[in-house]
Amino acid sequence: TVPLVSARVDRTWQVWRTRVTGMVDVFNIINANPVTNFNLSNGPTFEQINGALDPRTLQIGVRIEF
């Protein structure tokens, strides 16, 4: 299992006839770094790590509805 925790916070404001929403997303909050892929071939590359989970990431966005 991979301990992956993500969260979103958003807030909406009414500006005239338009709704403006500000959003903040945080992915991989606990900054888990498990191996997601590794090489099973025999030889010097045996169990070489090919991929790991992305680090903690912050995403900021704005949505405008009219």
Task: Say which DSSP state 58 is in.
Answer: E
Complete DSSP assignment for 13-57: EEETTEEEEEEEEEESTT----EEEE---SSTTTT-EEEE----E
What pLDDT does 11 receive? 97
pLDDT at 7 > cutoff 80 = yes
| pTM, two decimal places | 0.68
What pLDDT does 45 receive? 74
- The string of pLDDT tens digits covering residues 9-64 is 999 999 999 999 999 999 988 887 777 777 777 777 777 777 777 788 999 999 99
What pLDDT does 59 receive? 97
